[in-house]
Structure 1
Amino acid sequence: MQVLIDFQDSLLQGIKENFQRFLNKKINWNQRMIGIKGPRGAGKTTLMLQHLKFTLSKNQVNGLYVTADHPWFYQNNLLDTAMTWFKQGGQVLLIDEVHKYPNWSRELKNIYDGLPQLQVIFSASSALDIYRGESDLSRRVISYTLPGLSFREYLKLSKTADFPSFTLEEIQHRHREISHEVISTIRPLLYFEKYLSKGYLPIFVEGENEYGSKLEQIINTVVDTDLAYISSYNAGTAAKVKKLLGVIADSAPFKPNVSAISKKLNISRDRILEHIYQLRDARILNILLAKGKGVSRLQKPDKLYLENTNLAFAINSSPEKGNLRETFLLNQLLNAGYEVFEPKKGDFWVNEITIEVGGKNKSSQQVLNEGEYLIASDNIESGWGKKIPLWLFGFLY
């Protein structure tokens, strides 16, 4: 077990407390079993190691961090590791990338049932559905999702400025006051452009020049590795999924013609829908359904978006500006926990509000008769009335 402790100690040396993701304060860290899902590069590992170093260790709680793809597990299983750690006085076991471990749900269930005094915190790919594992974890685990950075978090991590987050209602009614507070400190539009292209994942701190290539590697790893572990993909399936992603990325926001895509890629309609929802689960796509439609994995989405604007730049060096605006707003609303639908008019419907997205000269003509509405307008520092700066929606979390 010393090899695991040495590995942990080596990692902890580089962990700092100067920046913590918003989710850290939302997690109930007292639950017996906690699952943290999120896209690669979002900071799940750092979140767990910060909790270990700055909360557990300071409170003299014995925690052990392991990663499921460590060579240790070539000859040892999770349950035996947990039992050995508990017998040595361990109180918390933190397991990173649990989806890479065979029979993960069965062993987590056995740990939960057999070691009631041991807390388990695990992280996994966004594509992992912990409620559909081969053993029932739904009554045992509390699951959280860690998305990429909000624009607000990007500003803080880049050491530009530190601002609080605001609810959609606060932004709706206090946007002039809030934007003026921000403008008195920074010129937000300059940083907003950088965020859209290279600021969604915390890995930007490792170097902006390498960000694009790292993001391409993440996309390939999600399809070739993460989804392969979870959905039993083979090389041929992965290649088809990448082609599907390319078709969507070329014209996102995309109203899918599933039959046409099926013919083009020689994949059945049901498999197309299955792959679309898998890419959604893997945080590569966002799906928009019309207001009033039921939610089902057999339901054809009304519109498809890339999950974040950085993906648009990774796949297409010159993405269309209007697409970026909509992709950004949907991403921030969903990440903040809001339910978003496609309205009959306008771009998004959320909290009984129709939102139209556009440039600085965007008018309200299209949504004027749609009840409560807002205009999310790009390229303005502050708004007036129902026109709100697009960048300000990046302060929702």
Structure 2
Amino acid sequence: MEKLIQKYYQKLDRTKLLKLRSQMFDIDWSNRFIGIKGARGAGKTTLLFQYILLKQLPTQETLYVSLDDLYFTENSIFSLAEQFVNEGGKYLLIDEVHRYANWSSELKNIYDDFPDLQVVFTGSSLIHIENARGDLSRRAVVYELHGLSFREFLAFQDIGQFDKLSLDDILNRHVELARPIVNKIKPLSFFKDYLTYGYFPYYLENKDAYLQKLMETILIALSTDLPSSYNLSYASVEKIKQLLHILAESVPFKPNITKLSERIGVARNSLLDFLRYLEELRIVKRLYADTKGIGLLQKPEKLYLNHPNIFYALSYQEADKGSIRESFFINQVSVVHPIEYSAKGDFKVGKDLFEIGGKSKSQKQIQNEQNAYIIADNIEIGHKNKIPLWLFGFLY
């Protein structure tokens, strides 16, 4: 345990409070059993250490461990927690729970047996608390940490600090909201940078190497996180990589599941499972015409890459502007509202219809529709039902 403590101190000493995620202040840290899941690279580990510093947790009463440490090949989480509590520990931060076979059962036992211990754990976006053994769903309060919003990117770049906006406010007051922002900064001059490399906070380490690292992160998630969560064979993982390569060159498109499964060389149901895995890893986004009652074997109406950076990291051809715009809109909006495919416009959010395009996008496709909006790229300020695309990056 002493080596774990040394590693914890070393990482804590390297942590800074200069750039904080907004979700730091959305999480109710008073809960004694908190889960934080998210894609690789979203910043979960950094969030844990910043929590320690921000809340000034007593160093001697706090311990951070990562379950991919070799220590846990011969020691259990429960035995560690028991020893830690016996030595006066009060705050146990556990990283990478999906790397440990019986994590849900042992966490449940820790929660039940040590009522004075706060546990904060992180895991892959693949983990399903509601399906985990030990009935964690009624014990843990679980949050998902997404990549940076455009608003957070501007803050991380020291360009400007801005408040979050609600979707209703954007739809009804977009001109009023956009004007003071445009008076302070020129959002379009930073928007392309965000679309290219600004989604994951680790771009700060090296912008030039970001896309290469993003590709490597995706491959690690496929090769390591996915098999540990779904017990997949090496051959299945290779098929999923092949599928991702096809999607990266083709999205957005309406999938022909039969033809796609034949091309990959897997059964139809296996292909639908593969698409679900890719979405759970936050690599692909599936869109349906109606999000109510979606079955595991239901074919999606359209497929997208989860955020624009993935286009630049995985595609061997120049990214299509229309695809980038749509991916950005889906990515930012779906964090706060369910989004559906629409045959009339591009997307539906509740009763509202959205058509995405450039600054010269016309009203033709939605002219006879109620609650319909044009979401236009390359404009700073909108007019009536025409709203600047960048403003949707302020939703979280």
Could you say which TM-score interval applies, normalised by the shorter chain?
Answer: over 0.9
- For 1:119 and 1:192, the matched residues in 2 are separated by 40
Q: Displacement of 1:233 after TM fit?
A: 2.0
Equivalent residue letter for 1:189:
L
Q: Displacement of 1:30 after TM fit?
A: 1.8
Contact 1:99–1:230 (CA<8 Å) still a contact in 2? yes
| Equivalent residue number for residue 170 of structure 1 | 169
- For 2:386 and 2:37, the matched residues in 1 are separated by 35
Contact 1:37–1:125 (CA<8 Å) still a contact in 2? yes
| Equivalent residue number for residue 219 of structure 1 | 218
- Within a 5 Å distance, the mapping from 1:183-332 to structure 2 comes to 183-291=182-290, 294-317=293-316, 318-332=318-332
Contact 2:291–2:338 (CA<8 Å) still a contact in 1? no
Alignment of 1:51 onto 2:83: no
Number of positions where the alignment pairs a residue of Structure 1 with one of Structure 2: 395
| Equivalent residue number for residue 385 of structure 2 | 386
**TM-score normalised per structure 1:** 0.96
Tell which deviates more after alignment, 246-255 or 190-199: 246-255
Equivalent residue letter for 2:354:
I
- Within a 5 Å distance, the mapping from 1:18-167 to structure 2 comes to 18-57=18-57, 62-167=61-166
- For 1:254 and 1:241, the matched residues in 2 are separated by 18
Q: Displacement of 1:293 after TM fit?
A: 5.0
Contact 1:56–1:63 (CA<8 Å) still a contact in 2? no
* 1:34 counterpart SS class: strand
- For 1:369 and 1:52, the matched residues in 2 are separated by 54
Identity of aligned residues (%): 42
Contact 1:61–1:92 (CA<8 Å) still a contact in 2? no
Equivalent residue letter for 1:50:
Q
Contact 1:37–1:144 (CA<8 Å) still a contact in 2? yes
Contact 2:34–2:120 (CA<8 Å) still a contact in 1? yes
- For 2:27 and 2:62, the matched residues in 1 are separated by 17
- For 2:38 and 2:126, the matched residues in 1 are separated by 8
Q: Displacement of 1:343 after TM fit?
A: 2.1
Q: Could you list the runs of 5+ residues in structure 1 that have no partner in the other structure?
A: none
1:274-301 deviations in Å (ceiling 9; x for gaps): 1111111111111111036522222111
Equivalent residue letter for 2:36:
I
Contact 2:17–2:53 (CA<8 Å) still a contact in 1? no
Q: Displacement of 1:9 after TM fit?
A: 1.0
- For 2:157 and 2:14, the matched residues in 1 are separated by 18
| Equivalent residue number for residue 357 of structure 1 | 356
1:100-125 deviations in Å (ceiling 9; x for gaps): 01211111111112222212110001
Equivalent residue letter for 2:21:
R
- For 1:366 and 1:219, the matched residues in 2 are separated by 36
- For 2:16 and 2:291, the matched residues in 1 are separated by 46
Are residues 10 and 75 of structure 1, via their aligned partners in 2, closer, same or farther at CA, if it must alter by over 3 Å? same
- For 1:275 and 1:109, the matched residues in 2 are separated by 30
Q: Could you list the runs of 5+ residues in structure 2 that have no partner in the other structure?
A: none
Tell which deviates more after alignment, 312-321 or 133-142: 133-142
**TM-score normalised per structure 2:** 0.97
Tell which deviates more after alignment, 129-138 or 86-95: 129-138
Equivalent residue letter for 2:250:
S
Q: Displacement of 1:229 after TM fit?
A: 0.8
Contact 1:288–1:304 (CA<8 Å) still a contact in 2? yes
Equivalent residue letter for 2:281:
A
- For 2:269 and 2:102, the matched residues in 1 are separated by 27
* 1:229 counterpart SS class: helix
